[in-house]
Amino acid sequence: MTHRALAAIFVAFFLTSCSLGPQKQAATPQNITQQIGDLPGMHKCDSSGEVNAVLQTEKQNGSPEYGVNATEWAQWKRQGASKAYFAVYGASPADCAAVTARSTGAPRALMVGLVVQFQNADVAQRNYGRESNLMGLGPKDIRFIELAGGSTTFGTATGLGPESVTGSGVVAGTNYFVAQWQNKIFESDFIGYGVAPSDGQEAVLDMNKRIV
């Protein structure tokens, strides 16, 4: 093959690559859940991580939540879940410390998210309909908002798709914002504590945009 032919092949490859443009990053639970850029003034807590790793840490630390969390995760895997990421963000290190079993103090502001990946969209939708809890998040959060006299929104009006619900309210002087939704092969749960509902809403919309 001549140098001219090689050059022609290189040019054709270069032009094809340029026409394709930048490739989107594949969606995973870790890169879907809330990120630093979604949460002004918030910092990621050490308690964040892939769910299996979080459970292992809870077991090693003798966390009282370990038994329930491990049992629920085993159930979700039987229902088709393949991986999950648990993300905790606080306004300060003290807020992050407040979510540990060793703390007795209350946080000032927290945002907690959970994204679970399933084998396919049908399996994800079926699991969403089961209304199961995992890692302390789930339908019980919506019921809490309803019992506290807060407001709830269901379906496409949430901005998160037909299989979704959001809720917000003020309890004992503290703002709460919660959301649960299923989109494609992912189910997501979110709770904001001590943050403006508009900030929580913006965070979950950002999360949902990353499900591509």
Task: State residue 144's pLDDT score.
Answer: 96
Q: Let me know the angle formed at the C-alpha of 208 by 49 and 43, rounded to the nearest 5 degrees.
A: 40
Does residue 25 carry a pLDDT above 90? no
Is the pLDDT at 10 greater than 80? The verdict is no
3-state secondary structure of 41: coil
Half-sphere exposure of 8 (CA within 13 A, CB side): 5
The whole-number average pLDDT for the span 195-205 is 95
Average pLDDT, the chain: 88
Q: Which pLDDT score, from 0 to 100, does residue 105 have?
A: 63
pLDDT of residue 12: 41
Locate the DSSP E strands across 72-193.
81-90, 110-118, 151-154, 164-171, 174-183, 186-193
Average pLDDT rounded to a whole number, residues 160-185:
97
| pLDDT average, residue stretch 126-151 | 95
Q: Does residue 135 contact residue 146 with C-beta atoms inside 8 Å? A: no
- What is the distance between the alpha carbons of residues 84 and 133, in angstroms, rounded to a whole number? 13
Q: Per-residue pLDDT tens for 45-58? A: 999 999 999 999 99
Could you tell me whether strands 110-118 and 186-193 are parallel, antiparallel, or unpaired per DSSP bridges? antiparallel
Among the ranges given (38-52, 66-80, 178-192), the one the predictor scored with the smallest mean pLDDT: 38-52
* More reliable by pLDDT, 32 or 16: 32
Q: What pLDDT, on a 0 to 100 scale, did the predictor assign at position 39?
A: 84
**Are the CB atoms for 59 and 71 separated by under 8 Å?**
no
Give, in degrees to the nearest 5, the angle at Cα 200 between 199 and 204: 120
Distance, CA of 208 to CA of 184 (rounded, Å):
10
Compute the average pLDDT of residues 181-192.
97
pLDDT tens track for 87-112: 999 999 989 988 775 555 678 899 99
Instruction: Kindly list the distances between the CA atom of residue 58 and the CA atoms of 11, 13, 62, 96, 205, in Å, as whole numbers in the listed order.
Output: 55, 50, 6, 15, 30
Tokens in use for 77?
């895997």
What is the rounded distance in angstroms from the CA atom of residue 71 to the CA atom of residue 68? 5
pLDDT of residue 169: 97
Among 15-29, 83-97, 105-119, 125-139, which stretch is predicted with the lowest mean pLDDT?
A: 15-29
Q: What is the pLDDT of residue 7?
A: 38
State the pTM of this model: 0.86
Please report the pLDDT score of residue 80 as a whole number.
96
Cα(114)–Cα(117) distance, integer angstroms:
10
Instruction: Report the percentage of the chain scoring pLDDT > 90.
Output: 77
pLDDT tens for 60-69 read: 999 999 999 9
Tokens describing residue 192: 């904001």
Q: Report the alpha-carbon distance of residue 206 to residue 65 in Å, rounded.
A: 29
Nearest to 144 by CA among 110, 108, 172: 172
